[in-house]
Structure 1
Amino acid sequence: MTVLVVDDQSAVRDALCEMVEALGYHCLAACNGEEAWRILQTEHVDVVLSDWQMPRMNGVELCQRIRNAENGNHYTYFILLTGLSDKEHFLRAMEAGADGCYEKCSNLNEIRAYLGSAERLVNLHRRLERESQTSLRAARTDPLTQLGNRLRLDEDLATVWSRTKRYRSTCAMAIVDVDEFKSYNDQFGHLAGDAVLQRIAQTIRRNVRDVDGVYRYGGEEFLVLLPEQALRQAVRAMNRVRKTIEQLSILNTSARRIVSVSIGVAELDPSVDASIDAWLARADAALYRAKALGRNRVEIAPSRPR
């Protein structure tokens, strides 16, 4: 746990820092609220242990600024130490968002008690943050393939769309569809079909870049986002994916062929794509063209969806 000690009196500040470090915590120090605020912009701090009365920015003002800047991703436990023990000052501290307001002391056991309470709450917040992040990931992950789901895709499409439009960069998308998958499912059953989808998902993920997004788009359809990829590069990457899937040699005896994929690729074109849906429609049109031309191939999108 990292503790930031804030006090304009160097002797008091040094004594508090010694006690904080003696208790096994990492300690930072600032001589007033302004310096503390600058430190908070670059350092991860769990607890602020601050004097109330300081020049330039006092402890209450520092606490209010911290609370106003918090966005829910990190909580800073704030303790005010003051020589003012009346009820009015205690209420002001609580209204400012302080977690504790105590009389100044030089007693190690009291500081241990203050920081012990802080540590319990800090650990609770850390656990809740981890659980929240786990829940967020689960809500955006397809349980069968462990790829991003439609919710994650919608969010990433919006981000890519905005960034590409703003910075005039390139981006391509590819829709990948497993050829004649229904016949495979009908013959071998859904459990076997699920296993095939998992293998194909893993193959796609391994054969594109780490920065590329891979999502389960539908039942047997996947979508790949390829940022900073022009059409020719995207087609080359998708042909590598297609060939690798073919080399898995998964036999679809019902269709009398190896399981393969058809792929439609579309580079984002601001002169044609008025919306994300228009971009998706062109990639989908390219996919249907690949199907119509015999499957197990990559086709590029026409300038306008058919």
Structure 2
Amino acid sequence: MENKNKENEEIDVEMTIEIENKELGELIVEYNENKDAQNLTALVNHIINCRVLVPAMMNDDKSPAPAFIQNDDGELYMPIYTSAKHIPQEPASPLIINMPFMAVVEMAVTPDFNVEGVFINAFTDSLIFKLPLLQKIYNVEKDKTQGVIPLDQLTDEQYHIWSRKQVEFTLLPKKLFEEGEKFITELSDGKEEYMDKLYEEFYQEKRMYPYLEEEFSVMTMNISEDISIVRVDFPERYMEVPSCYRVYLVWDKQKDEGKYYTIEKTMNDSIRLLGEVIPEISHVSHGEAPNDGNELQTIIDLVEDEVIA
């Protein structure tokens, strides 16, 4: 098959978010060896809860877009990889996006993408989920997610960790992308008091909110006439993977658009991840975060589309 992404830019796939998906890999091997209904059911039930790596390239408007693989019949497929070891060194992709598998499914079943399915580990396991199967998965999961998350089944600590993930990787960036300059202004003016109240507002169980205003830090920087950056440092309590030490919210008045960058905790305490949440509320990895003194300049470089050394 021909890889349609002909960009010459390189990316070190070792620097993407660390995912292994060991059990998923074993289920794929089992299904490839014996493609019966039982093995397919086991595979689908597992992969719907997994995150996968998706090759992408930059559009003309500098936003990430999925890469595609085309077969000899001209059919397009979305390639995904269950871990970095399955990603080929050549041809390289400008970006590797870490996404929930269900987010991939949602894109694949969208008519605008005009794909025939998803290609899983194209150069190793070479497994294809065709569009009818993806549509069925999408419909079933959509019906299941109409219910409420059983928060009463979580311990207090698990609930706080779950809440951090929801706030820092979904609710806060969503508010930025939906409210734009209004939100940036409110956050800049209200500082730590505003952030503390907003974080508590995001909590589904208000009585369990554990943080104090003093545990947040908010600093606004006007980089140019059009670009403002707000740095928000989060409490150290309940900071587990995945959670953020801090985030950088960027607003470009001229383009009327926002950017949301994350400095994230990893399994290795000596390494922090520089990530980004894009408007689709998908996660992009920009590799290992620089030291504290170089963070701001790195964010500015990303905003200005400069090459990061």
Shorter chain as denominator, the TM-score bin is under 0.3
| The structure with more strand, counted as a fraction of residues | 2
Larger Rg: 1
Q: Using structure 1 for the length normalisation, give the TM-score.
A: 0.22
Q: Using structure 2 for the length normalisation, give the TM-score.
A: 0.21
| The structure with more helix, counted as a fraction of residues | 1
The structure with higher relative contact order (CA 8 Å, sep 6+) is: 2
